[in-house]
Amino acid sequence: MSIEPAVPVALIVEDEPQIRRFVRMALEGEGWQVHQSETLKRGLIDSGTRTPDLIILDLGLPDGDGLRLIRDVRTWSPVPIIVLSARIDEADKITALDAGADDYLTKPFGIGELLARVRAALRRQHKAGGDASARIAFGGVEVDLNKRTVQRDGEPVHLTPTEYKLLSVLIANLGRVVTAPQLLREVWGPSNADNGHYVRIYMGHLRQKLEDDPAQPRHLLTETAVGYRLQP
């Protein structure tokens, strides 16, 4: 999975040793070299000196807000950042994602989830560097970005311009959560920030057209109170 010949480097910024431990074990199992920082201060230094290929960041650090690290790193690097946070802090998650974090995990989280997020973040980054594939497939759905056609089980599906636009934003962020405010901005324009229900209605349309069971979607997933994710 690595582009560089060297072993990929991950940085974990987390104050809780047991959480650090199992995240490290999981990443090492996937072939990562893992560095650990216990504090925000240490994390700020390590993110510069270790040049990590991935940062796993706890938002609630004892010596400061993890948000600072995201903003700091984003001034010089597009390295994927995955944020760990508690369930009730949806607003914090949105802030972190809008500040440049790539994804988030709600505590408690499983290792499967963690690794899936890591893979998605890396894939996205590599794609941004290399050639973007014009054909995307998930479930029985196939989208040709060049021809702007959508097929489901080989049958063409008609999407309205808005639905297609919404889908294309999700495809551009494949596997990664996109916040509802970001979707509103990109699909409806900056003046519609208060119309959160637009996104929900159009996601409903997309699910009706693309999912087998719209009430139990497998690809067009809702991250409650945060945003949406297109799961390949």
Partner 1 sequence: MPLLRTIAYHPRMQSSGSTTSSFPARVRGVLAVLRADGGDEYTVAAAARLAALDDAPWHAILVENAATRRQGEAARLRTLELLRRAQAQGAVTAVLDGPDAASVAAGYARRHGCATAVTARERATPWWRAPFLRRLAQAAPELDLVEVAAPAAAPPRAAAAHGAGAAGTPAPRRYLAAIGASLGTALVALPLLPLLDVANVAMLFLLTVVLVAIRLGRGPAIVATLVGFCALVVAAPRRQYDVSEFKYAVALGVMLAVGWITARLTSDLREQAESAIGREARTRALYEFARALSVALLTEQVFEITCRFLARTFDARAAILLPDDAGRLRGPVADPGSGARPPVLSVLDMAAAQWAFDHATPAGAETPTLPSNSWLYLPLLAPMRSRGVLAVRVPDVAALLVPERRELLDAFAALAAIALERVHYVDVAQDAVVRMEGERLRNSLLAALSHDLRTPLTSLVGLSESLTLSRPPLAAAQMELANALRDEARRMSTLVANLLDMARIQSGGVKLNLQWQMVEETIGSALRACRWQLGARTVDTRIPRGLPLVRFDATLLERVLCNLLENAGKYTPPDAHVTIAARVDDGMLVVGVCDDGPGLPTGREDALFEKFERGQQESSIAGVGLGLAICRAIVEAHGGRMRAFNLPDAGACFELRLPLGAPPPLPDMDSDHHDQPIDQHEH
Binding site residues, partner 1, CB under 8 A: 16, 18-19, 21-23, 25-26, 29, 60, 86-88, 90, 107-112, 148-150, 158-165, 168, 186-189, 195-198, 200-204, 207-208, 213-217, 221-225
Of 73 and 138, CB closest to partner 1: 138
| Minimum CB–partner distance for residue 112 and partner 1 (Å) | 8
- Which residue type sits at 191? S
3-state secondary structure 197-219: HHHHHHHHHHHHHHCCCCCCCCC
| Minimum CB–partner distance for residue 207 and partner 1 (Å) | 8
Helices (H), 37-191: 40-49, 66-74, 90-98, 111-129, 161-172, 180-183
- Which residue type sits at 216? Q
Crossing angle for the helix pair 90-98 and 66-74, to the nearest 10 degrees: 20
Of 7 and 201, CB closest to partner 1: 201
Of 73 and 210, CB closest to partner 1: 210
Of 125 and 188, CB closest to partner 1: 188
177-179 and 220-223 strand pairing: unpaired
Radius of gyration of the chain (CA): 18
| Minimum CB–partner distance for residue 157 and partner 1 (Å) | 10
β-bridge partners, 223: 227
| Minimum CB–partner distance for residue 158 and partner 1 (Å) | 5
Of 3 and 111, CB closest to partner 1: 111
| Minimum CB–partner distance for residue 120 and partner 1 (Å) | 16
